Amino acid sequence: MAGLRYAAIRGMFEALSASRITGLVRALSSARGIIFTLHRVLPDDPADFAPNAILQVKPDFLDYAIRRVRALGFDIVDLDEAIRRVEADFQVKRFAVFTFDDAYRDNLKYALPVLRRQQCPFTLYVPTALVDGVGEVWWQALEDIVAARDALAVEIAGETEIVPTATLREKHAAYDALYLRMRAMPEPERVALIRDLAAKYDYDLAAQCRSLIMDWSELRGFAADQLCTIGAHTVHHYELAKLPAEQAQSEIAMSLKVLEAQFGRRPIHLSYPIGGTASAGPREYAMAAGLGLRSAVTTIPGGLYRRHRDSLTALPRVSLNGLFQARRYMDVFATPAVFTMLGKG
């Protein structure tokens, strides 16, 4: 299913880039700006089985993305300036914001040098339990466990299912099916399942988290850069819409307190974990506003328009997807109206 969806999107990207219509669309659009979503930045090609490759781009693609966005006439600004431009009662110069979710350690090694060289402001959204080394990067853990085995015994609701994972096709099918089932589960059940798989197959979730995510010392050095804005990404990276209201609010509020204690400043920007319509909705948008946050971003595709001044805690973004790193695609990524249309689909 995911393969078919990405094939359709790739076809759209090819058609738009070949027609060169994106410039006309941008010229006619009332979009004020765009917020880009990134996660990992790594120089190497992903393995043949790497379902999370969608979350990683190469440093040279990041560098090109920054340069191309500027060449297309966008100002690259921080979130504070982006919000000012969204709220402005007058015409503003079109802008772009670069954001990174999860505080992956590779951001420090591979993204930060590019961002500094290009003098590109950016926001880093930090899930505090992951930085503490006690969170779970479960989507990557699932990939690693599937990659290492020829079959998995998966226990759900007291029933054990043997899932074949010997071939590349089987691995992709198993990952897609398990990922979708885990996304549909209440968070306590998902946590129990990934912990059960990790214990069964001798996978150290805590060590994996510490390996992938920056610690506080590294993060303080990262955050000291004047280009960097630190935003909240909750404590445990749970999908807030799947939590009771009190717990969901605590996930946001506690992350703000921890980040303020670490950096001496309370964040005013939030990214909802996972960030789609099943992960955050009107209840969470109201929570973010009630906690005094200036903005909160989703992963719902779209550009920013003047109307977003009335929904600053429900802002859309555009993912710089690792499967779409051809340079010709960057003009499509930098056309907010295309993604606004996709977000309505």
Please tell me whether the overall predicted TM-score, pTM, comes out greater than 0.85 for this model: yes
Reported as a single tens digit per residue, the pLDDT across 91-147 is 899 999 999 999 999 999 999 999 999 999 999 999 999 999 999 999 999 999 999
Burial 221-258 (b: 16+ CB within 10 A, else e): ebbeeebbbbbbbbbbbbbbbbbeeeebbebbbbbbeb
Reported as a single tens digit per residue, the pLDDT across 250-273 is 999 999 999 999 999 999 999 999
| 325 contacts 58 by C-beta, under 8 angstroms | yes
**What residues does each domain of the chain span?**
2-133+213-344, 138-206
Alpha-carbon distance of 57 to 37, in angstroms, equals 11
Residue 41: what are its φ and ψ, rounded to 5°?
Answer: -130, 115
Lowest mean pLDDT among 21-25, 189-193, 277-281: 21-25
- Band (pLDDT 50/70/90 cuts) for residue 345 is low
The domain made up of 2-133+213-344 is a member of CATH 3.40.50.280: no
Mean pLDDT of the 154-162 span: 90
Whether residue 1 is predicted with pLDDT greater than 70 in this model: the reply is no
